[in-house]
Structure 1
Amino acid sequence: MRLDQYIAAIYHCSRQKANDMIKQHCVLVNNQRISKPAYRITQDDIIVLTKEVFIANTLYCSRGAFKLQRFLENTLCKGQIIKRDNQTQSYTHTKDSMQEEITAIKQHIHALIARHVLLDVGASSGGFTQVLLAKGARFVIAQDIGSLQLDKNLRKNKKVFSLENLDIRDFSNHQRFWLESLLLDSLRRESKVSCALKLSRFQSLQSVYWIHKKSCPNILDSILHNNKAEQHYTTKPFRMLTCDVSFVSLSKILHSLRSFSNHLLLLFKPQFEVGLYAKRNKKGVVTDIKAIEQSLLSILRLLEDCNVKLIYIEKSQVKGREGNEEFFIFCQF
């Protein structure tokens, strides 16, 4: 029997997911890592999955979860701080001092996730959402332009709200409408709400600044109009947003993303940034290094034009499905 077939059958996952796990060296056969999905096994073989494929004791729901998990847990000095406090960096730092700065940035990202309301743009099946919850997010709004893609376990999770068939640019233009609808829907589904979006200070944009525990069933007025509540609001709705989109350039949606949060964690995918005429191999992997660099620089210039305070870039330890090298960009405004 093929190894990928066995994994798919035993763990009730797709053959594609089984292939991904094997190619990421996350499957052990008789204590040896196997990287070939077609590897033949017998009934006497002992097959074990490494702990990397489990997020909060649940099998990861997409390749995106792999990417974000490894980014957040990577403490090695593999990234680059492009800009900090409005000054472009040209480092003469020692390796140790650079390591300290990168570690501090990673710790800051963890702090932005824990106990906060987050937006996951381009959620798809929910890989990023799954990791954010595992890292302590209080509530995640999973937005996607498609439908019926979110993992069934995440769909049932009370800490997740799925916004489907919605372009992030439309969400940006109609935040108040969508956030009110989200809250009303939550209230209809449960007579008592243990966690509800706390909205504050209606202006041109609605501000959601935390999830606040409530036990009273009739809390709509107090949530929408209670100005005596603690004023922890921000002009941006979410503490942080993550973005993993396909078939659209980050440059096309960056303005909309900035309206949601001052902290963005973006995944730069060269295959959707370089244009149609950049050189690719038969598998669709972009081989035009110059085009990739120019596209990445273009995104960085857009961020600088927006008065960004911090830009940190790190190559994803997990490549795209076809083999493209991707990059995480964390920026703070």
Structure 2
Amino acid sequence: MGTTLDGRDHGPPDAPGRRTRLDTELVRRGLARSREHAADLITSGNVRVDGRPVCKPASRVAAGDVCEVDSPGPEFVSRGGHKLAGALEAFGPLGLTVDGRRCLDAGASTGGFTDVPLRAGARQVVAVDVGHDQLVAELRDNPAVDVHERTHVRDLRPTQVGGAVDLLVADLSFISLATVLPALAGLVRPGGDLVVLVKPQFEVGRSRLGKGGVVRELALRHDAVRTVAVAAGDVGLGVAGATVSPLPGPAGNTEYFLWLRADAPPWDDTTLAALDPPGSPKETSL
């Protein structure tokens, strides 16, 4: 464990008595790359203010407060990086490779899914997002990253990104993966791979969400995985692997990864039985 700098405020003086959000203050002091990164550090218990652990990103701190950040293990630029790293670890023994390949990150945001392939040896990552100014500077300035902002993957063509890629990774929100899979598949060369994060909260429909937007019923979560897998089959993709994300979504939703390839077998419902390990959230009332 370690701390970055001394955690004291070295910026311009604030108005007397002014208190700011902890996540914002960590970024301002250079202790976190982005507010998302700061929030991840805070909620995982790695931030102390004046020696006391603080676990809420919205907690208020004053200019004179000492903020300390412990950094355990490999640090990705966002929480999403840990999700994808877990999926690659699961699919690697099954034959998925990243080293030397040209990749595309659909829904790049701050860059968690861009960061992981680069660390795994990807020769280039095309970072695509409908938003802008979210990608962290260390990735934006990396010559191996080709940034395409204000771009919806549904409208993207291979010619816009230098041709089809070898591997596509996707972390999309507020849209069903099933509706964009035709576009995603069209960005991958023959023989290429897709590793997509299935978020049940965006697949099952708003009327089936539980309190706080969480999909609590196991059957509904599995329906979401099945829906995406069947949509993949409709565009000629089979399922080479499936696994539970090592981390839940921000609201606590259990999420899943599918590894898709044209030469993989079609979806088989027997895969569902192995997806949720013992002790995972089971079917509960909404």
TM-score normalised to structure 1 length: 0.61
Matched, 1:246 2:268: no
Matched, 1:269 2:183: no
Shift of 1:240: 0.7
Matched, 1:284 2:213: yes
Instruction: Work out the percentage of aligned pairs sharing the same amino acid.
Output: 29
SS in 2 for 1:264: strand
Gaps of 5+ in 2: 1-18, 263-286
- Alpha-carbon distance in structure 2 between the residues aligned to 1:120 and 1:45: 33
- Alpha-carbon distance in structure 2 between the residues aligned to 1:49 and 1:147: 28
Question: Match for residue 81 of structure 2?
Answer: 65
Cα RMSD, aligned residues only = 3.2
TM-score normalised to structure 2 length: 0.70
Matches within 5 A, 1:221-260: 237-260=164-187
The structure 1 residue matched to 2:72, chosen from 50, 73, 76, is 50
Matches within 5 A, 1:1-333: 9=29, 11-14=31-34, 16-24=36-44, 27=46, 36-37=55-56, 48-52=70-74, 54-55=75-76, 60=77, 62-73=78-89, 104-105=93-94, 108-109=95-96, 111=97, 113-172=98-157, 175-176=158-159, 178-179=160-161, 208=163, 237-261=164-188, 262-281=192-211, 283-333=212-262
| CA deviation profile, 1:23-65 (whole Å, cap 9, x unmatched) | 335x287xxxx68347x9xx9998532023x24xxxx2x2211
- Aligned AA (1:162): V
Compared CA separation, residues 133 and 301, structure 1 to 2 (3 A):
same
| CA deviation profile, 1:62-87 (whole Å, cap 9, x unmatched) | 221121123334x5xxxxxxxxxxxx
Shift of 1:239: 0.7
Matched positions, count: 233
Shift of 1:156: 1.2
Given that 1:133 and 1:140 are in contact with CA atoms closer than 8 Å, whether structure 2 keeps it comes out as yes
Shift of 1:11: 0.9
- Aligned AA (2:253): N
- Alpha-carbon distance in structure 2 between the residues aligned to 1:118 and 1:63: 20
- Aligned AA (2:103): L
| CA deviation profile, 1:261-300 (whole Å, cap 9, x unmatched) | 231000001111111101321x322224332222221112
- Alpha-carbon distance in structure 2 between the residues aligned to 1:130 and 1:71: 14
**Higher Cα Rg, which structure:** 1
Question: Match for residue 185 of structure 1?
Answer: none
- Alpha-carbon distance in structure 2 between the residues aligned to 1:299 and 1:269: 10
